[in-house]
Amino acid sequence: MKLSEAQIEESLSRLTDWRREADWLIRDLAFENFKQAMAFVNRVADEAEAMDHHPDILIHGWNKVRLSVMTHSVGGLTGKDFELARRINGLV
């Protein structure tokens, strides 16, 4: 179920390192090199498969990763998006 504006604000206040852009949660990360960026992306991919909830993942500039999370079926943010974001924070 799509979260209300108030619920999004409240959830976001308890989530470090992510920002909101329109209907998305976004986190940008930088790594020492491409190999480490890919290793992180694979950990994120395993978690995404476990949750059956898949972020968009951009690997760019050989060492940077941008993660974008939303729930396409509702066209906005749900509790599952925040849960995925929290789990990803545990993988960094």
- Binding residues for a second copy (CB under 8 A): 34-35, 38, 41-42, 45, 48-49, 54, 56-62, 72
- Give the whole-angstrom CA distance, residue 91 versus residue 88: 5
Quick one: 7 or 47, whose CB is closer to a second copy? Answer: 47
Which CB contacts under 8 angstroms, 24+ apart, belong to 44-48? 44/88, 44/91, 47/84, 47/87, 47/88, 47/91, 48/84
CB of 24 to a second copy, least distance (A): 12
Shortest distance (Å) from residue 61 CB to a second copy: 7
Of 10 and 56, the one with the shorter C-beta distance to a second copy is: 56
Q: Which is nearer to a second copy, 8 or 41 (CB)?
A: 41
Which is it for strands 19-21 and 24-30: parallel, antiparallel or unpaired? antiparallel
Least distance to a second copy, CB of residue 48, Å: 7
Query: Hey, what amino acid is at 39?
Result: A
